[in-house]
Structure 1
Amino acid sequence: MTDEPALMSLAHGGGCGCKIAPGVLSELLAKMPGLPVPPDLLIGTASSDDAAVYRLNDSQALVATTDFFMPVVNDPYDFGRIAATNALSDVYAMGGRPILALALLGMPIAKLSTNTIGRILEGGAAACAAAGIPVAGGHSIDSVEPIYGLVALGLVHPDRVRANTGARPGDLLILGKPLGTGVMSAALKKGLLDAGGYARMIDTTTRLNTPGPDLAALDGVHALTDVTGFGLAGHALELARGAGCRAVLDWGAVPVMDGVRALLAAGCATGASGRNWQSYGTSVLLPDGFAEDDRALLTDPQTSGGLLVSTAPEAEDAVLEIFARHGFEAARRIGRIEAADGAAPGVALT
């Protein structure tokens, strides 16, 4: 196919920035009819968690999730790798180990060559192979915008499921990956991301969140989630609301990818960052003088972002050791969980 368009030019958004804003999503879900919940459904829709979990027997529970989005980069192979890595992250975030995946593919067939589409699928298969699982099937449609992702299935011991509702006052918060992928993708679309920045973006977005099961095996780890489309503030808020507590973030300790702040200064904040803030900003307390670029980074949608761990202080060293053993050198303690003391659960920055 001649004059084939760049992938990102075919989509109105990209990566986890495509997510429906939290406020709109809450309104939609509020209208869903209540249905009977079987006793073996350990985690469903009630807690806005990363995946559903269904008990199979005393030693196994099935983790089931799906995630898909439009291109966050122009390279088709990298797009496939990123989308698949992101989808598998929800299994890891529940403490599970992936067992297989199904591909979800929507492509504008008249605009993209079969070679380009094939490279997307190859990238997804490569990420699954890195996780040690097959792509065992899937579904495809001819769509207006390019879309790719996975249905991801995994297994976890029922006693080792780590939901986003288990945080406790006194816990520490540890983040596994640095922030900035939304900003970098916006810069790429504007032609402002250099080769070094692109390499850093690909490195973090294709890094599987494999520490999840080992973290869930620690008794001191009380809650897990991954930071994706709602940004650090949004996913910390989900932890806080799930536990009826307050998440206090030490903004100066939060890891940020090299070059991201300069890109923000160049006008590369995402539209999704603003939509996130409009949806939940009233539940986030910022210190006086907090910079607008910092607020944009706090709510920046993270494509294939890091695990956010709520852990007892005595398990902090073990948590950081697990991250380091899996190659997550940027993992940092970024805050703590406090009792809400009668106030509405929320997030505060220091």
Structure 2
Amino acid sequence: MDDAYEYGQIAAANSLSDVWAMGGEARLCMNILMFPEHLPFDTVQAILRGGYDKAAEAEAIVVGGHTIKDDIPKYGLCVSGVVHPDRILRNNSIQKGDILILTKPLGTGVLTNADRGGLLSDAEHKAMVDCMAALNKYAADAVRSLDGVHACTDVTGFSLLGHSYEMCGESGLTVIIDSSRVPLLPGADNYASMGLVPAVAYQNMKHLKDKVALPKDLPSHVHDLLFDPQTSGGLLYSVASQEAGRIMEALQKACQTPAVIGHVEGPSSHPVMVI
């Protein structure tokens, strides 16, 4: 990111997300900032201000932090949160018959690659930044008191398919992803078709090659986006089918683009199957 303030916002939103993925609420944050000594101080201030503003939006307090000299700027938060013990969400407790709901569109990995090359339109850039800086707090708040939420994970560097595999755990169940229903950020399909796929996506493909079944006629750009590493991606919920309508209604009021993208079936040849 060229804009230091936006960089701070996105890094903070990404750091905070794990607490919400477990059904919790963020409380305390500590900055972790690494930067070279030649980095202008106003840039450092802008990064920290972006992080502080997102923490404040999350109703969390920044209580301090650590700075480290490094050649490449790096920033994030160490976050502490709270959750009622009866409401902890795990990432591997899916149940047969569950419906899968994703709260943010995919494509941030491909789009940040395109952005480095100066290819994004202003509208595409804004949509990408807005998506990454958006807090998953609002989705988590919307479903916290609702019954029927069986599992949740945030979709980040391991891609949608990687985190879908994570949700299978040792259950022996199968996650079915309907590729036609997976939401994408504006321009993501175009830039994926141009081959602007991050190196991490290929690492994800290699790691998951024996764990994911893909249709032979799946378009190559869709294939690549399903393995695309996300920065500050959305929450992936596995919910009881009889409660899915009520949960979707709550999520639609809380965030812009929740989508039903699949379901959970019994054992099959692969833990994750794309249709």
Alpha-carbon distance, 1:194 to partner: 1.6
Where does residue 38 of structure 1 map in the other structure? none
Where does residue 32 of structure 1 map in the other structure? none
**Does the Cα contact within 8 Å between 1:162 and 1:216 map onto a contact in 2?**
no
1:313 is the counterpart of 2:238: no
Question: Which residue of the other structure, out of 149, 155, 163, is the alignment partner of 2:82?
Answer: 155
Counting only pairs closer than 5 Å after superposition, residues 32-111 of structure 1 correspond to structure 2 as 73-110=1-38
Give the TM-score normalised by the residue count of structure 1.
Answer: 0.76
**Does the Cα contact within 8 Å between 1:166 and 1:242 map onto a contact in 2?**
no
Where does residue 229 of structure 1 map in the other structure? 157
Equivalent pairs counted in the alignment come to 274
- 1:95 alignment partner, SS class: coil
Question: Which residue of the other structure, out of 141, 144, 162, is the alignment partner of 2:68?
Answer: 141
Q: Which runs of 5+ in 2 are unaligned?
A: none
Where does residue 298 of structure 1 map in the other structure? 226
**Does the Cα contact within 8 Å between 2:142 and 2:251 map onto a contact in 1?**
no
Alpha-carbon distance, 1:242 to partner: 4.6
Q: Tell me the amino acid that sits aligned with residue 244 of structure 2.
A: E
Counting only pairs closer than 5 Å after superposition, residues 215-254 of structure 1 correspond to structure 2 as 215-254=143-182
Task: Write the distance in 1 (CA, Å) between the matches of 2:73 and 2:52.
Answer: 17
Question: Which residue of the other structure, out of 22, 32, 53, is the alignment partner of 1:126?
Answer: 53
1:199 is the counterpart of 2:165: no
Task: Write the distance in 2 (CA, Å) between the matches of 1:92 and 1:126.
Answer: 18
Alpha-carbon distance, 1:218 to partner: 2.1
- 1:116 alignment partner, SS class: helix
- 1:137 alignment partner, SS class: strand
- 1:305 alignment partner, SS class: coil
Ranked by relative contact order (alpha carbons within 8 Å, sequence separation 6 or more), the top structure is 2
**Does the Cα contact within 8 Å between 1:172 and 1:335 map onto a contact in 2?**
yes
Task: Write the distance in 2 (CA, Å) between the matches of 1:148 and 1:301.
Answer: 18
**Does the Cα contact within 8 Å between 1:161 and 1:216 map onto a contact in 2?**
no
**Does the Cα contact within 8 Å between 2:93 and 2:168 map onto a contact in 1?**
no
Where does residue 184 of structure 1 map in the other structure? 111
Give the TM-score normalised by the residue count of structure 2.
Answer: 0.96
Alpha-carbon distance, 1:241 to partner: 2.3
- 1:267 alignment partner, SS class: coil
Q: Tell me the amino acid that sits aligned with residue 183 of structure 1.
A: V
Task: Write the distance in 2 (CA, Å) between the matches of 1:149 and 1:81.
Answer: 10
Where does residue 208 of structure 2 map in the other structure? 280
Task: Write the distance in 2 (CA, Å) between the matches of 1:334 and 1:195.
Answer: 28
Task: Write the distance in 2 (CA, Å) between the matches of 1:347 and 1:198.
Answer: 31
- 2:210 alignment partner, SS class: helix
- 1:212 alignment partner, SS class: helix
Displacement over 6 Å in runs of 4+: none
Where does residue 339 of structure 1 map in the other structure? 266
Alpha-carbon distance, 1:213 to partner: 4.0
Alpha-carbon distance, 1:193 to partner: 1.2
Question: Which residue of the other structure, out of 199, 203, 211, is the alignment partner of 1:271?
Answer: 199
**Does the Cα contact within 8 Å between 2:30 and 2:79 map onto a contact in 1?**
yes
Task: Write the distance in 1 (CA, Å) between the matches of 2:173 and 2:141.
Answer: 25
Task: Write the distance in 2 (CA, Å) between the matches of 1:176 and 1:243.
Answer: 24
Q: Which runs of 5+ in 1 are unaligned?
A: 1-72
Where does residue 349 of structure 1 map in the other structure? 274
Task: Write the distance in 1 (CA, Å) between the matches of 2:265 and 2:236.
Answer: 16
Alpha-carbon distance, 1:220 to partner: 0.6
Q: Tell me the amino acid that sits aligned with residue 348 of structure 1.
A: M
Same amino acid, percent of matched pairs: 39
1:201-243 alpha-carbon deviations (Å, 9 max, x no partner): 1111111112214424322110011100000000000001253
**Does the Cα contact within 8 Å between 1:95 and 1:214 map onto a contact in 2?**
no
Alpha-carbon distance, 1:291 to partner: 2.5
Task: Write the distance in 2 (CA, Å) between the matches of 1:187 and 1:242.
Answer: 37
- 1:282 alignment partner, SS class: coil
**Does the Cα contact within 8 Å between 2:35 and 2:68 map onto a contact in 1?**
yes
C-alpha RMSD of the superposition: 1.2
1:175 is the counterpart of 2:102: yes
Where does residue 186 of structure 2 map in the other structure? 258
**Does the Cα contact within 8 Å between 1:108 and 1:146 map onto a contact in 2?**
yes
